[in-house]
Amino acid sequence: MGITKLHGLAILVTAGITGAIWYHHPFPPASDQKPTASSEEGILLQTDLNETSPMLPRRRDVLVLTPWLAPIVWEGTFNRDILNAQYMQKNLVTGVVTFAVKKYVQFVEGFMSSANKYFLAGHQVNFYLFTDNPEQISHLQMAPENHLFVIPVQNHSQWQDISMSRMGIISRYIRSQFQYEIDYLYSIDIDVQLFEHIGVEIIDTLVGTISSWHYTARRESKSYETRTESQAAIPTGEGDFYYTASFYGGSVAEVYKLTRACFKGVMEDRENGIEARWHEESHLNKYLLYHKPTRLLSPEYYWDEELSRPRIIQVKRMCSVRKDGEK
Amino acid sequence: RRQDVLTVTPWLAPIIWEGTFNSDILDSAYRPLNLTIGVTAFAIGKYTRFVGRFLESAEKHFMKGYRVNYYIFTDNPETIPNVQLQSGRRFVIVPMEKYPSWQKTSMRRMEAINKHIAETSHQEVDYLFCLDIDMVFYNAWGPETLGDIVAAIHPGYFNVPRSQFPYERRSSSAAYIPDGEGDFYYGGAVFGGLVKKVYEFTKTCHMTILTDKANGIMAAWREESHLNRHFLSHKPSKVLSPEYLWDDRKLKPPEIHLIRFSTVDKNYKEIQD
Per-residue three-class SS string for A222-252: CCCCCCCCCCCCCCCCCCCCCEEEEEEEEEH
Computed over every residue of chain B, the mean pLDDT equals 93
Strand boundaries in B155-207, DSSP class E: 186-194
A58 contact partners, CB below 8 Å, separation of at least 6: A51, A64, A76, A77, B6, B8
- Test A71 with B14 for CB contact under 8 angstroms: yes
Which pLDDT belongs to residue A326? 36
- Mutation site, A33, A41, A52, interface B, largest B CB count within 10 A: A52
Q: How many CA atoms lie within 13 A of B245 on its CB side?
A: 28
Could you tell me if residue B41 is inside a domain?
yes
Whether residue B186 has pLDDT greater than 60: yes
Minimum mean pLDDT range among B1-5, B39-43, B228-232, B263-267:
B263-267
CA-CA distance, A129 to A116, in Å (whole number)? 13
Three-state SS letters, B227-260? HHHHHHHCCCCEEECHHHCECCCCCCCCCCCCCC
Chain B closest-CA separation from residue A308 CA (Å): 26
CA-CA distance, A137 to A99, in Å (whole number)? 12
Which pLDDT belongs to residue B34? 97
Q: How many CB atoms lie within 10 A of CB B15?
A: 23
B8 CB within 8 Å of a chain A CB: yes
Could you tell me if residue B10 is inside a domain?
no
Say if residues A88 and A120 touch (Cβ distance below 8 Å).
Answer: no
Residue among A26, A79, A295 minimizing CB distance to B11: A79
Interface of A with B in 30-89 (CB under 8 A): 39-40, 42-44, 46-47, 49, 51-58, 60, 63-65, 67-71, 73, 77-79, 82-83, 86
User: pLDDT in tens for each of the 327 residues of chain A?
Assistant: 455 555 555 555 554 444 444 344 566 655 444 444 444 455 556 788 778 888 888 999 999 999 999 999 999 999 999 999 999 999 999 999 999 998 999 999 999 999 999 999 999 999 999 999 998 887 888 999 999 999 998 776 665 565 558 999 999 999 999 999 999 999 999 999 999 999 999 999 999 999 998 776 665 567 899 999 999 999 988 999 999 999 999 999 999 999 999 999 999 999 999 999 999 999 999 999 999 999 999 999 999 888 888 889 999 999 999 765 433
- Test B5 with A55 for CB contact under 8 angstroms: yes
Which pLDDT belongs to residue A37? 41
State the total domains in chain B: 1
For B154, nearest residue in chain A (alpha carbons): A54
User: Which residues of B are less than 8 Å from A57 in CB distance?
Assistant: 2-7
pLDDT digits 0-9 by tens, B127-154: 999 999 999 999 999 999 999 999 999 9
- Test A77 with B8 for CB contact under 8 angstroms: yes
Q: Taking the mean position of all CA atoms in its chain, how far away is CA B213?
A: 23
For B231, nearest residue in chain A (alpha carbons): A42
Could you tell me if residue B9 is inside a domain?
no
Its ipTM equals 0.92
Could you tell me if residue B2 is inside a domain?
no
Say if residues B212 and B175 touch (Cβ distance below 8 Å).
Answer: yes
Chain A closest-CA separation from residue B47 CA (Å): 31
pLDDT digits 0-9 by tens, A76-117: 999 999 999 999 999 999 999 999 998 999 999 999 999 999
3-state DSSP call for residue B262? strand
Amino acid at B113: I
Chain B closest-CA separation from residue A243 CA (Å): 19
- Test B6 with A23 for CB contact under 8 angstroms: no
Minimum mean pLDDT range among A274-283, B79-88, B213-222:
B213-222
Could you tell me if residue B82 is inside a domain?
yes
pLDDT digits 0-9 by tens, B58-69: 999 999 999 999
Could you tell me if residue B235 is inside a domain?
yes
CATH (domain of B42): 3.90.550.10
B134 marked as part of a ligand binding site: yes
CA-CA distance, B248 to B163, in Å (whole number)? 24
B148 marked as part of a ligand binding site: no
Could you tell me if residue B268 is inside a domain?
no
CA-CA distance, A227 to A105, in Å (whole number)? 34
Give the model's confidence band at B102: pLDDT under 50 very low, under 70 low, under 90 confident, else very high.
low
B126 CB within 8 Å of a chain A CB: no
Could you tell me if residue B176 is inside a domain?
yes
Provide the residue range defining the domain that includes B166: 15-263
> Taking Cα atoms as reference points, which of A168, A152, A175, A141 lies closest to residue A100?
A152
Whether residue B120 has pLDDT greater than 70: yes
Question: Which residues of B are part of the catalytic machinery?
Answer: 224
Rounded to 10 degrees, the C-alpha dihedral B80/B85/B90/B94 comes to -10
Whether residue B221 has pLDDT greater than 50: yes
CA-CA distance, B232 to B236, in Å (whole number)? 9
B167 CB within 8 Å of a chain A CB: no
Sign of the C-alpha dihedral, residues B36, B24, B87, B42? positive
Mean pLDDT score, B193-198: 98
CA-CA distance, A246 to A280, in Å (whole number)? 10
Which pLDDT belongs to residue B43? 94
CA distances, A302 to each of A56, A189, A191, A214 (Å): 28, 10, 11, 12
Strand boundaries in B81-204, DSSP class E: 89-95, 127-131, 135-137, 149-153, 186-194
